[in-house]
Structure 1
Amino acid sequence: MTNAIKTVCVVGAGPSGLVAAKTLLHDAPDGVKYNVTIFDSQPRIGGLWPVEKTDEAGLVHPAMIANQSRHTMRFSDFAWSDDAPQIPRAFQVGGYLELYRQRYCQEATLRLSCRVEKADLVSNSSNESGHSWHIRIQSEENGAEEHTFDYLVIASGYFGEPAFPASLKNTKHDIPVVHSSKYRDLEQLLGDPKGKSGKILVVGGQFSGVEIAGTIATHVSDAVNAPGPRRNDFIDQKTQRSKFSVHHLVQRPTWILPLVTASTPADPAPCFLPMDLNHQNLSNRPPGPLVNTQGHISVETARVVNSYFHNLLKTDQSEFSPRLTVQESDYDNQPFLGISDTYMDHVRSGAIGITKGKLESVSGNIANLAPSGEQIDGIAAVVLATGFKASASLSFLSEEIQQKLSIAPNDLNNTVALAFHSTHHPEVPNLGFVGFYRSPYWGAIEMQARFVTALFGYGGPLSPSLPAKLAESLKNDTSVERVLSLRTDPRASQFPMGDYAWLSQEFGIALDIERVPSLGKMPILPPKNKEMNILTAASYPGRNLDEARKKENEKNLSRTEEVVTAGITQGRFVARAVFRSLLGEWKLDRELVSKRLEQPSSRFIGTATFFLRNGTSHGREEEFAKIEQEGGDHGFEYLYVENGEFVDEAKGVRFNSTRRYIWRYNERKDKLSVWFVKTDDDRTADYLFHEIDFIPPGEGGKGEDGWKATGSHLCIEDIYNVQYKFSFNSVNLREWKLGYSVNGPKKDYSIDGVYSR
């Protein structure tokens, strides 16, 4: 190692570029100093993640809900604010990154609106690697510039440019055809909807396809059910239903998970946690050193994992649609996942239709499928959730370097063949990679940044100065061969690079960083009755932390442990799980039993439908304004519509009856509430009916057949005492009961209703 200050060019100012810069500046080996310059083509930091609510120019809509919790989307030594949502929106993720930059990257030179156009490796005998990087950039402010650096870190990631099917690329169409990364709302997609109707075809069945199909279906629902003036251009005047629907084109069976999953799925009153925290409970893994579960998936492994997801969800998904069924005959094939809170119940309600096949072409308003030759007609627009090409993020490298890296532009999963878990290539020792990793676990890219920083600091992958553990890890590494073999492997997994827990272990061994134990005692989870052991980035703190960074790391650990403990022992996230699972139509059977002759007993049989829409301010204007001021989001709410027949057998009376409410979920309070609607506008909330308070498990709230909750409402002199019971089948409500006891000077009756799918 040398004491000279080395210059490093970092390409990209997203999560990967920022953590790379921070690690070079703060975690270099003793005696090593780096001068870091970050270039990004965008006018802001954040990469995919917008830092403002109004920033809609990037690849991710600011309001998009992340598919992982804040415990996964964070770095080991920087905590989210205490009032941040457990599962943030995209603009909130960008806000976290901006605060991270302010805390750790002030010493770096940040050049925004600067596109790296060429990076050439040139000889330099004064550099220990024998080479330097000649970088040519195009700056919006200064035009063409040229710079020289000792090292280059590419942190521009897998999302280089949207991938389009060859048959649709650079082709004019009669209807809108856009990539999912450019979708923002119905108006932007459809233009003027007047005179238009039909199916919005979503192409692609993996993460982005499931997410965008659920998002568009929610936007369609909101267009029909929002309060205020009717959006008549979106509504069929005869049926009062939307003129547009979502049709999803998929190629294979996929397990769809919500953002919050059951920690005890066999329990009718399960405990809930964010999906990633349940998934990264290391107590569920076999004892001993972790074994990689990704890459090539054998038939035996596929059967085990598919069975695991069936047991987790307690369904083969056929109850939502026969076309969502994952049959036992599919268990031999590698499993695929999608994540969405709304997709499954939108499918069940008919808001999303499904066809299996591959899009071959679009002719007029008809989609032609292969290999069946089937057609889908009445298409109003096409949204392509067909992934991204990472090769665009590497286009500035010379052809010689690209050949050394074995770049395969058309392989979206294994684009570049790099050593030691996508961090470098032995033939280009002063080139590093951070963030070429297709998964949302930021702990993995932080480990990559640490590895690259150490590799540069000790003189490269062939240096005799490498610490013994690092040298041994490099000696045994087979990452390049593994990537090349996966390119032609028909049994490659959805995320072939490697599973997060195993990667963390392997990086920890190489860097001599030990995983730290929990700060306190964690809950014991049945049926294995093992203490939970949740892996996050904070589980592998950096070495030689100062006191401030140590406190941030401990705060991260303690916040995760508090959330896990609250979920398992106090019923946190149950209200969220109930709210998510209400979407769609329910059978309703309600009986009124009166103790007063002047109000006879009766029965109501019908349906109750929960229509999802964006959260509104009516009745809670002050709270809404505060959320707006603090940069939060307003979430979603339901328009509850009840229709059926009221039967009074004593009087022989039958008549149709309808009733409406607004149901809301407050994420900060983790609480549900029910609101009356206005008499002159049956889609607008008026005032609060009651809040739903879940009874803590220690006070009898966790029954053998479901979660219990209560509420109350005083209507002049009449008191409504409300009792709920919510019975789950893993993540999905299978039945819930709502009972009222009403007492007042002239009232004494009870109402018991049963809601079932």
Structure 2
Amino acid sequence: MADRKTVCIIGAGPSGLAAAKNLLWDRRARSKFRVTIVESQPRIGGLWPSSRSDNGGLVHPLMLANQSRHTVQLSGLAWEDDAPSFPRAWQIGAYLERYFQRYCRGPQEIGDLVVKLSRRVVRAEPIDSGWHVWTQATDTEGGDREVVDAGVFDYLVVASGYFGSPNVPEGLETMSTTTTTTTTTTVNSGSVPVVHSSAYRDLDTLFAGHPPTKDQKGKIVVAGGQFSGVEIAATIASHLSSAEHAPGAAIDTIPAASVHHVIQQPFWVFPLHTSPAPAANAPPFLPFDLPSYNIRKRPQPLADTQGHITAETARFVHGLFETALGTDQAEIHPALAIAKDSTVRDAPPMMAVSDTYLEHVRSGRITLSTGKLDAVTDTQAVVTDVSRSENVDNVAAVVLATGFSAATSLAFFPESVKQALHFDATDARQIVALAFNGTYHPAVANLAFVGFYRSPYWGVMEMQARLATALFVSDAASPPPSKDVASWVPATPQWPQLASALADDRSIERTLSLRADPERTSQFPMGDYLFLMHTFGEALGIPRRAADPADAALQTRDVALDVVTPAHYFDGDGDQGDENTGGGPTVDSLDTVKAIEHTAATVKAGLHDTRFVARAVFRSLQGTWKLDRTLTSRLPSHPSGRFVGTAEFRLRQRTKDGMSESEKLGEEDEDEFEYLYVEDGIFTALNGPSFQATRRYVWRYNARDDRMSVWFARTDDSSRADYLFHALEFSPSLMRKGWKATAGHLCIDDFYDVHYEFGVSGVNVTNWTLEYGVRGPKKDYTIFGTYRR
């Protein structure tokens, strides 16, 4: 015990837990370290909340991950079989709790672990023997705020993440509202609430203390056009839509009815499911990160596609995005258009992820301005662009999706350390310049970084944790370096390939070069997941578990997939979560195999069955369609005629009206959405009168069964579902590029034979038809409707 080296890990999120797991369980590190984790939250998980009601952090517990469970995982722990494809934030927190219980609460003979919750590192100073660390309590409810000497550690791991503190635009006076676990930024603008996007939870809390007036409904201004801006604008718009269209709608209690989104430039918006073969006649669908991480489509040897982006490369990638989406977004809104002849295509592409954002924009629920939010005065916001200024009137609230400052995440370092790390608080994308893909700096001994870069991948976090372990193990086995040695790069004999990889690395020079040319820097400078995983794997001697190229289940005539996930880089030497029993596989290796098999099964189901097609079609129906329908009756008692009007799919939070008790219990995610379908128009009878006609249904999607269904609306309350009309069964269309679906419904003596045809371009349904024949003792007619945007 006395010979064990000590390590302080700052942060108990996925990065910190991966670092602790590797230091405790890697065979080459076992029994060599005593680990202390310092976490500012009162629970492990870092940013990720522990439950649906955990609102104390910077992440909304109901927020959907923008990567699937296949990517949001660590190699030693598979997700539960029934976990959703895209887990919510609180489910990720629960996953991390399971990871912690398995790897950080295991047999004590592997090494010591101490976890200090509700404490923040406020000082970390390098000394000859390592790092001297001081901490302070984050609990303000009567807790002791005294700075405490936490002791001296041989090594320090920064795993506190990039989300240091909310950014607030200059010129807006701020106030800090401190909770027990975090600081939420609000802005004193006068008569309207102004909050950072990390503080938004729902409309009720946003407008608490701001009751609606008799005046016209106002706008919620969202400032910021990258990932968080798109996500929060779409979330608020969905909340507004639900407030308006849910049973017992409460929109009258909300002072706003729309979102005004202030963006700086157009960006591509990807849904959560895309097609790996968008040109296919019946394009298959998968979680959008799986086609992105298909290594078979990449030229070999792998080269880094991120960082410095030439105009030629930018145009090429813009073209790939347009092909994948099937649109340049011009039909959605001019401010989002990225036309082929636009100079926007010379710049590095910007992207965001949302299932609902574009259709909220198309419908007008979200309006757009290009520029920057300059000021908020009473109920008016000022947006300025290069050559003009725009006043946005009737503002009801402002949400600042202006990102976070990573500078506060390193505030505990003295200036000498910051200078050595090339610290630059003005560079939001690369605040420090570190060696070997953001893991360490040779000028600062006994220090490693895990997950400390913009939008880190979980697989890369795990690789950085493995590299940090290799460096610490090697350093601990080496004689103390001379004080004259300026570079801390210990010899790594137990990792034979690592020494040459570290010697050849040029990550620091790359970062400094990108700082000198920010206009040509990619949105995520360390965004090439496949390249990063491959580079770490080669350096650490961890081969990738490649898919069998002869496996017909992973390919079609249009595409072949070999998807890379963290589980595909399982370290046979380093990842040993439990002792072997009788020479059998370890628990973590079994979990790794399980995770790989689940990813393969998901790919196979998407390529060869109809998995995710219903999900993709359902998402794409949101909004208003032009409807032209003919009714052809073969009985004189029912007139033939034509209906012309609109069909609107009104987004709202899922209800359970009409469901049986077993169906209610089987609902996978009660926070999902459904549509209230409303059609209005004029029916003109053949050789007869014309009259106004309307009808309503409720459309639902169940992720557990991958099923889309249509429900009759109640006659006494047309906003509520009554009972099931039909569920759609999908198959490839033989008539057009897209998908068809069939269904049937027996209503006493009348049978409804239902046929759909969905025309698909990229990820979107662009037009569709619905035909059903009705036959019974007193009915014999056919209805055929065409739907277009």
Fold match, TM over 0.5?
yes
Does the CA-based 8 Å contact 1:162-1:389 persist in structure 2? Answer: yes
Picking from 354, 374, 382, the partner of 1:360 is 374
Q: C-alpha separation between the residues in 1 aligned to 2:253 and 2:123?
A: 49
Aligned to 1:182: 199
Question: Structure 2: which 5+ runs fail to align?
Answer: 107-112, 175-186, 477-487, 577-584
Aligned to 1:305: 317
Aligned to 1:574: 613
**Distance change >3 Å, CA 404–CA 505, structure 1 → 2:** same
Q: Give 1:361 deviation, angstroms.
A: 1.7
Do residues 553 (structure 1) and 567 (structure 2) align? no
SS in 1 for 2:497: helix
SS in 2 for 1:341: coil
1:214-293 matched pairs, under 5 angstroms: 214-228=234-248, 230-234=250-254, 243-286=256-299, 288-293=300-305
Does the CA-based 8 Å contact 2:161-2:451 persist in structure 1? Answer: yes
Q: Give 1:377 deviation, angstroms.
A: 1.8
Aligned to 1:207: 227
Amino acid at match of 1:464: A
Q: C-alpha separation between the residues in 1 aligned to 2:670 and 2:636?
A: 49
Picking from 460, 464, 485, the partner of 1:448 is 464
Amino acid at match of 2:674: E
SS in 2 for 1:421: helix
Q: Give 1:77 deviation, angstroms.
A: 1.8
Q: C-alpha separation between the residues in 2 aligned to 1:30 and 1:683?
A: 61
Q: Give 1:623 deviation, angstroms.
A: 4.5
TM-score (norm 1): 0.93
Further displaced range: 351-360 or 465-474: 465-474
1:250-309 deviation per Cα after TM superposition (whole angstroms, max 9, x unaligned): 1112011101012221235211011100111111111x2211011111111111111111
Q: C-alpha separation between the residues in 2 aligned to 1:132 and 1:231?
A: 55
Further displaced range: 633-642 or 78-87: 633-642
Q: Give 1:523 deviation, angstroms.
A: 4.1
1:102-501 matched pairs, under 5 angstroms: 102-107=101-106, 108-124=113-129, 131-138=130-137, 140=139, 144-146=147-149, 147-170=151-174, 172-174=188-190, 175-191=192-208, 192-195=210-213, 197-228=217-248, 230-234=250-254, 243-286=256-299, 288-328=300-340, 329=342, 330-370=344-384, 371=386, 372-459=388-475, 461-466=488-493, 467-489=495-517, 490-501=519-530
1:411-451 deviation per Cα after TM superposition (whole angstroms, max 9, x unaligned): 21111111111111112221111011322521010101001
1:535-570 deviation per Cα after TM superposition (whole angstroms, max 9, x unaligned): 111111112255221111111111001000100110
Aligned to 1:665: 701
Further displaced range: 538-547 or 328-337: 538-547
Do residues 88 (structure 1) and 106 (structure 2) align? no
**Distance change >3 Å, CA 217–CA 136, structure 1 → 2:** closer
Do residues 749 (structure 1) and 776 (structure 2) align? no
Q: Give 1:145 deviation, angstroms.
A: 3.2
Further displaced range: 5-14 or 637-646: 5-14
Q: Give 1:753 deviation, angstroms.
A: 1.0
SS in 2 for 1:420: helix
Q: C-alpha separation between the residues in 2 aligned to 1:608 and 1:433?
A: 53
1:452-482 deviation per Cα after TM superposition (whole angstroms, max 9, x unaligned): 0111111184223444421111111111122
Amino acid at match of 1:284: K
Does the CA-based 8 Å contact 1:269-1:726 persist in structure 2? Answer: no
Q: C-alpha separation between the residues in 2 aligned to 1:444 and 1:323?
A: 35
Picking from 699, 708, 723, the partner of 1:687 is 723
Picking from 551, 555, 579, the partner of 1:521 is 551
1:560-602 deviation per Cα after TM superposition (whole angstroms, max 9, x unaligned): 0100010011011000001100000001111111111221212
Amino acid at match of 1:497: M
Aligned to 1:24: 23
Further displaced range: 493-502 or 477-486: 477-486
Q: C-alpha separation between the residues in 2 aligned to 1:717 and 1:746?
A: 9
Do residues 595 (structure 1) and 630 (structure 2) align? no
**Distance change >3 Å, CA 219–CA 396, structure 1 → 2:** same
Aligned to 1:238: none
Further displaced range: 552-561 or 367-376: 367-376
Do residues 636 (structure 1) and 636 (structure 2) align? no
Amino acid at match of 2:188: K
Q: C-alpha separation between the residues in 1 aligned to 2:360 and 2:453?
A: 31
SS in 1 for 2:459: helix
Q: Give 1:314 deviation, angstroms.
A: 1.9
Amino acid at match of 2:679: E
1:642-692 deviation per Cα after TM superposition (whole angstroms, max 9, x unaligned): 000111123x21100000000000010000011111111111111111111
**Distance change >3 Å, CA 681–CA 208, structure 1 → 2:** same
Amino acid at match of 2:411: S
Q: Give 1:624 deviation, angstroms.
A: 6.5
SS in 2 for 1:386: coil
Does the CA-based 8 Å contact 2:18-2:465 persist in structure 1? Answer: yes
Does the CA-based 8 Å contact 2:243-2:249 persist in structure 1? Answer: no
Does the CA-based 8 Å contact 1:389-1:410 persist in structure 2? Answer: no
Q: C-alpha separation between the residues in 1 aligned to 2:663 and 2:124?
A: 49
Q: Give 1:184 deviation, angstroms.
A: 0.8
Amino acid at match of 2:79: W
Question: Structure 1: which 5+ runs fail to align?
Answer: 125-130, 236-242
Q: Give 1:139 deviation, angstroms.
A: 6.8
Number of residue pairs the alignment of both structures matches:
734
Do residues 648 (structure 1) and 685 (structure 2) align? yes
Amino acid at match of 1:441: Y
Amino acid at match of 1:500: Y
Aligned to 1:715: 747
Does the CA-based 8 Å contact 2:173-2:189 persist in structure 1? Answer: no
Does the CA-based 8 Å contact 1:522-1:561 persist in structure 2? Answer: no
Amino acid at match of 1:148: V
Further displaced range: 2-11 or 83-92: 2-11
Q: C-alpha separation between the residues in 1 aligned to 2:461 and 2:261?
A: 32
SS in 2 for 1:658: strand
Does the CA-based 8 Å contact 2:134-2:147 persist in structure 1? Answer: no
Identity, in percent, stands at: 50
SS in 2 for 1:633: coil
**Distance change >3 Å, CA 356–CA 655, structure 1 → 2:** same
